[in-house]
């Protein structure tokens, strides 16, 4: 059974989807420098959304998808949420306000608080919450695809959502991988990543609409090389990309564009570039994280929406921040490419060697 993405909405540091795609095509980084997260006022580049209540923005985005879809309600729709932060920011707010943990509600700290909040508002048939670090919402999409293919559900709403919080920023700082400027994926002089926040909402269906993008393939792997570093030979990344292509019945030569995981860290970019160069000859490659930062558990869903919109608009986004390319075998555009891509692959890689690749195409 075919699976289609029929509707989607996002919110991130660059704004909504229209503003985000404009920033991608115009190479306008939306990373800001902040000194409020690391002890000693150390500057770090972050991707912060506009001011507002995170859950109010989330509910608004889901409402828009419901309004713009052909569904009267979500009573027969499964909700799958992918997140790595869940309610952590609310817990932090209480802790910093009170100076202790006593008033923190554990039930509002968990990953499932996002799905529970949305279910209370919209009454879904059932809900699931997935947390696999930076592949969380990519794996939510993979699961949704599998469930629709076996006719378990006709419609599934996938939400990727992570709020910016001190715990994650300080955690990545402890690993020594944060940049004090907008990240520069695949650049020889890149110096780290930018932690960011985002919300992405995608409605998947077994029925095609006029504007549908077909969700053709999904592949996952676990190279289990190291808790934070990828396998230096790229075996896990290759396995995930290969599985997505096999699932779709697509050859590597048919892929027009890869939205790379491309975090701007030394380890990730070199390994991902190696893996891509071993599988693909001349398809375009760029990372949207130079604009959005790394939105953690929301990244897979956010970048799936970017992949779908790239197909809709027929223009491949250039790489922002690239000064001197490290791996010359990659075909990284530095200006928008008007090529009307048919097949777009989106990569998400996470701690523990958890790798997920998703393939999207024009609905036939």
The secondary structure of 113-167 as a DSSP string is HHHHHHHHHH--SEEEEE-BTBTHHHHHHHHHHHHHHTTS-SEEEEEEEE---HH
Calculate ∠ Cα 331-336-340, nearest 5°: 85
| Average pLDDT rounded to a whole number, residues 178-200 | 98
State CA 43 to chain mean position distance: 24
At residue 268 the predicted structure's pLDDT band, cuts being 50, 70 and 90, is very high
Q: What are 268's two structure tokens?
A: 């990730």
Cβ atoms of 306 and 204 closer than 8 Å: no
| Average pLDDT rounded to a whole number, residues 312-330 | 97
Cβ atoms of 202 and 211 closer than 8 Å: no
At residue 230 the predicted structure's pLDDT band, cuts being 50, 70 and 90, is confident
Burial of residue 56, with CB atoms counted within 10 A of its CB: 0-12 exposed, 13-18 middle, 19 or more buried? exposed
| Average pLDDT rounded to a whole number, residues 264-284 | 96
- Distance, in Å, from the CA atom of 304 to the CA atom of 319, rounded to the nearest integer, reads 17
Q: Return the percentage of the chain with pLDDT > 70, whole number.
A: 100
Torsion of CA 226, 227, 230, 231, to 10 degrees: 20
Distances from the Cα of 22 to the Cαs of 44, 60, 149, 165, 182, in angstroms?
A: 24, 22, 34, 27, 18
pLDDT tens for 73-105 read 899 999 999 999 999 999 999 998 999 989 999
| Average pLDDT rounded to a whole number, residues 97-122 | 93
Give the pLDDT of residue 229.
75
Give the number of other Cβ atoms within 10 Å of residue 284's Cβ.
Answer: 23
Q: What are 13's two structure tokens?
A: 């540091």
| Residue for token pair 């095509």 | 25
Q: What is the DSSP string of 65-89?
A: HHHHSS-S-STT-EEEEE-SSTTHH
| Average pLDDT rounded to a whole number, residues 266-276 | 96
Cβ atoms of 217 and 358 closer than 8 Å: yes
At residue 35 the predicted structure's pLDDT band, cuts being 50, 70 and 90, is very high
Which residues have CB under 8 Å from 280's CB, separation 6+? 252, 253, 255, 258
Give the pLDDT of residue 351.
78
Cβ atoms of 77 and 157 closer than 8 Å: yes
At residue 295 the predicted structure's pLDDT band, cuts being 50, 70 and 90, is very high
Give the pLDDT of residue 224.
80
- Distance, in Å, from the CA atom of 363 to the CA atom of 18, rounded to the nearest integer, reads 21
Give the pLDDT of residue 72.
85
> What amino acid positions are annotated as catalytic residues?
134, 261, 294
Helix (H) or strand (E) holding 216: strand 213-222
| Average pLDDT rounded to a whole number, residues 14-24 | 98
Q: What is the DSSP letter of 185?
A: T
Q: What are 307's two structure tokens?
A: 């992949």
| Average pLDDT rounded to a whole number, residues 313-341 | 97
Cβ atoms of 314 and 340 closer than 8 Å: yes
Q: Which domains does the chain have, with CATH numbers?
A: 4-362 (3.40.47.10)
Helix (H) or strand (E) holding 347: strand 343-350
Give the pLDDT of residue 193.
97
Side-chain-side CA neighbours of residue 48 (13 Å) = 16
> pTM here?
0.96
Judge whether residue 228 has pLDDT over 80: no
Strand partners, 196: 47
- Distance, in Å, from the CA atom of 35 to the CA atom of 304, rounded to the nearest integer, reads 31
Judge whether residue 361 has pLDDT over 80: yes
Strands 195-196 and 42-47: parallel
Q: Return the percentage of the chain with pLDDT > 90, whole number.
A: 89
pLDDT tens for 143-160 read 999 999 999 999 999 999
């Amino acid at each position: 059974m075919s699976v289609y993405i029929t509707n989607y909405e996002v919110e991130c540091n660059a704004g909504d989807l229209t503003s985000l795609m404009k920033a991608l095509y115009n190479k306008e980084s939306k990373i800001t420098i902040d000194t409020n997260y690391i002890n000693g006022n150390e500057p770090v580049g972050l991707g912060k959304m506009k001011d507002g209540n995170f859950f109010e923005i989330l509910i608004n985005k889901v409402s828009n998808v419901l309004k713009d879809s052909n569904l009267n309600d979500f009573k027969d729709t499964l909700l799958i949420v992918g997140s790595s932060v869940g309610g952590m920011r609310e817990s932090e707010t209480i802790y910093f306000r009170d100076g202790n943990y006593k008033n923190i509600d554990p039930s509002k700290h968990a990953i499932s608080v996002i799905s529970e909040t949305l279910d209370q508002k919209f009454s879904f048939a059932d809900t699931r919450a997935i947390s696999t670090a930076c592949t969380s919402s990519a794996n939510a999409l993979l699961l949704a695809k599998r469930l629709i293919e076996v006719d378990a559900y006709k419609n599934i709403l996938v939400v990727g959502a992570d709020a910016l919080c001190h715990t994650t920023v300080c955690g990545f700082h402890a690993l020594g991988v944060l940049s004090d400027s907008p990240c520069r994926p695949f650049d020889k002089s890149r110096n780290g990543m930018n932690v960011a926040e985002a919300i992405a909402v995608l409605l998947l269906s077994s029925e095609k609409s006029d504007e549908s993008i077909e969700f053709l393939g999904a592949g996952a792997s676990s190279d289990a090389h190291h808790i934070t570093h990828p396998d230096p030979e790229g075996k896990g990344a290759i396995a995930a990309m290969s599985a997505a292509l096999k699932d779709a019945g697509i050859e590597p030569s048919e892929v027009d564009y890869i939205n790379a995981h491309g975090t701007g860290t030394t380890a990730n970019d070199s390994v991902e570039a190696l893996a891509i160069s071993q599988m693909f000859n001349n398809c375009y490659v760029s990372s949207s994280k130079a604009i959005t930062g790394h939105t953690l558990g929301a990244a897979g869903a956010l970048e799936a929406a970017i992949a779908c919109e790239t197909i809709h608009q027929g223009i491949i986004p250039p790489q922002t921040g690239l000064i001197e390319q490290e791996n010359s075998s990659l075909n990284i555009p530095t200006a928008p490419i008007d090529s009307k891509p048919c097949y777009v692959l989106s990569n998400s890689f996470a701690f523990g060697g958890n790798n997920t690749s998703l393939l999207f195409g024009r609905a036939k």
